[in-house]
Structure 1
Amino acid sequence: MADLIIRPATEADLPAVGSVTVEAYRVDGFLDGTDDYADHLADAASRFRDAELLVAVDGASGEVLGSVTVVLPGTHYAEISRQGELEFRMLAVAASARGRGVGEALVRAVLERARAAGVPHVVLSSSEKMLAAHRLYERLGFTRLPERDWAPLPGVNLVAYAYGMPL
């Protein structure tokens, strides 16, 4: 997508990042009106402070079209990463930007971050219900990592994926 820019988020982006993230999860049916996870997704300021937050913006308008949170093992947002791995979380694309390659561009930016840092593996957890995301990950070369599947809450099953890169 020629008019798409992937860059680190700025403080000015944070309200849009929170809104886009909640919207993406809600549109896909992963949130309901009583889900406390929506508050967690909306809190882009914490992700900005405690992790690396990347945004995809429209090159012409500057509109935030998506975001992803990049984390290191042992940090606040890390869930399954170990030494020698980079992890990403909360990949989200605005409903209006679906089908434009935004999600793929964000994942490729994470892979590039890992390469640049000399980190050979990228991992993630995803709800077992996020089938469209799983297709994207597999198309980009991620493989299932079933030994790290887990459930943060009863009935919330997360599947793990890994990408291994030659250094």
Structure 2
Amino acid sequence: MSEIRVRIAEPEEYAAIGELTVEAYTAGGHLADDVGYDAALRDVAGRAATADVLVATGGDGAVLGSVTVVEAGSPKAEVARAGELEFRMLAVSPDAQGRGVGEALTRAVVDIARVRRISRVVLSSRDRMTTAHRLYERLGFTRTPERDWAPHPEVPLLAFGMDV
């Protein structure tokens, strides 16, 4: 992909981001046993009220992907501890996968941590999101199995972290 721009999402993009996120999670088979999570994925306005929602767009302005960035102690934080920045709900349109969108979004999160002088970036990822795991590890994230958890017994989440 020749041009990917990552920035804070605008309210008029929230609906498209929500649908893209559900589409990406559905295409990857990540919603099959998590009834109800699609509503949380669609609620971009709710996330944006207490977190930063980043959007990746192409040269034509089309929404290609998104990620939610939260600080420790904020309402949407799940695994972040003091001194850590967490990202969640990273999603790339199935049509744009493999073109560097996920990497651009992840690097933007790391850049935010550096600007805010936050020393570590953390995340949880569904156990079967192996493509994402390879991206995170290639960018320098390592598994932190002691922080693995499950919001439901059938939804195991693996923790990753990276010092910045």
TM-score, reference length from structure 2: 0.97
Instruction: Write out the 4+ residue segments of structure 1 that deviate beyond 2 Å after TM superposition.
Output: none
Letter in 2 for 1:110: V
Instruction: Report the CA distance between 1:123 and its aligned residue.
Output: 0.2
2:44 corresponds in structure 1 to: 44
Distance 2:32 2:140 in 1: 32
Q: CA RMSD of the aligned region, Å?
A: 1.2
Distance 2:100 2:162 in 1: 19
1:6 corresponds in structure 2 to: 6
Distance 1:156 1:125 in 2: 11
TM-score, reference length from structure 1: 0.95
1:112 counterpart SS class: helix
CA offsets, 1:64-104, max 9 Å, x none? 10000000011111001011000000000001101110000
1:25 aligns to 2:12 (yes or no)? no
Correspondences of 1:148-163 after superposition (within 5 Å) = 148-163=147-162
Would you say the 8 A contact 2:150–2:157 is kept in 1? yes
Letter in 2 for 1:26: T
Distance 1:4 1:115 in 2: 21
Distance 1:130 1:69, change over 3 A: same
1:97 corresponds in structure 2 to: 96
1:108 corresponds in structure 2 to: 107
1:57 aligns to 2:68 (yes or no)? no
Distance 1:38 1:155 in 2: 16
Residue ranges of structure 2 left out of the alignment (5+ in a row): none
2:84 corresponds in structure 1 to: 85
Instruction: Report the CA distance between 1:2 and its aligned residue.
Output: 3.5
Residue ranges of structure 1 left out of the alignment (5+ in a row): none
1:50 counterpart SS class: coil
Distance 1:33 1:138, change over 3 A: closer
CA offsets, 1:6-61, max 9 Å, x none? 010000110110011000000000113972001111111111111000000012x2
Distance 1:107 1:149 in 2: 20
1:70 corresponds in structure 2 to: 69
Distance 2:111 2:46 in 1: 23
